[in-house]
Chain A
Amino acid sequence: MYFESLSAVLQMDGHGGFVWSAYLITLVVIVYILYAPRRREQRFLRQLRGQIRRNSGAAAPVREES
């Protein structure tokens, strides 16, 4: 490892703020581009399930009563 202590890693000779903020922003974007499509898929499947359930409920209300 190049650095000798944790504080040296964080400070990076005065460039730490630049380097770490760049990495942090990148991390946020990476999490977003992986998480957003997943969430879209899950939300769609949930909606579709609700729709299917409603339709099947409307088609056979009599059966539930008897």
Chain B
Amino acid sequence: MWSFFHKLGSPPWLYRISGSILRWLLPLTLLALVAGSVWGLLFTAPDFRQGNSYRIIYIHVPAAVVALAGYYVMAIAGAVSLIWRMKMADIAMRACAPIGAALTFVALVTGSIWGKPTWGTWWVWDARITSMLILLFLYLGVVALYEAYENKALAAKACAVLSLVGTVNIPIIYKSVDWWYSLHQPASIKFTGGSTIDPSMLYPLLFMIVTFYALFTCSLLLNMRAEILQREARTGWVRRLAGEREPG
């Protein structure tokens, strides 16, 4: 167990292992994205009330779910980097922020597009939507804060604190549809009690949620690899790597 943690803290090991994971995970994820989209777009029946516009659910919900989960990953990595000064945790925290921002953006934009035919408006200052917008700003805040500091150790500390403080927003997003009168529909999938979604729509949705988790993992690993190389630029293994890849 300890040797695993020891390895996890080793940049060359993580760079190598992430490379071999990505070699199969990335093509598999792309294939699943295509398969899941085709399933949701063409092989499911339309919603009895919303018609075909509901098909946006197969990207909207997975993007939103993984955007929230990504925030947990970022905050936990931030806490680890703050408490144990683990270099890899700091790298992981920083890698989460742009992906989380991108997925939150997707959730907001697809939600807005879905809102037009369903609610008759592109945007409302609704509790769920506003708290998601705050999530986007938190992610962008971490990205910007990191760039603002010249001293990267200080930047890591500031970003970790920001991401930890921002976790307050997560339960607000989850509960927003229950706490406030909201235009946004309540959760369709429930782990306790019955889901309010037909299995023929639930399965492609679950499939896409898993696929978006895989997508997040792929992008996280790719971002971490780039970050590892830049931070380890002066070490022998990175210089050897640069030399090996020289064409000709």
Contact = CB atoms under 8 A, between A and B. Distances in A.
B42 A3 contact: yes
B165 interface: no
B43 A26 contact: no
B215 A30 contact: yes
A33 interface: yes
A50 B166 CA distance: 41
Nearest to B247: A49
Interface string B6-50: 000000000000000000001000000100010001111110000
Contact of A12 (B37, B52, B219, B233): B52
Contacts of A59: none
A13 B37 CA distance: 18
B56 interface: yes
A17 to B, nearest CB: 9
Interface string B100-115: 0011011001100110
Interface of B: 26, 33, 37, 41-46, 51-53, 55-56, 59-60, 63, 95, 98-99, 102-103, 105-106, 109-110, 113-114, 116-117, 215, 218-219, 222-223, 225-226, 229-230, 233, 238-239, 241-243, 245-246
12 contacts: A13-B51, A15-B117, A16-B52, A18-B56, A22-B56, A22-B59, A33-B99, A37-B225, A44-B229, A44-B230, A48-B233, A49-B243
Given A2-B46, A15-B51, A19-B55, 17 more contacts: A1-B43, A9-B41, A12-B51, A14-B51, A15-B55, A18-B53, A18-B113, A21-B113, A22-B109, A22-B114, A23-B37, A23-B56, A25-B110, A34-B218, A37-B219, A41-B225, A44-B226
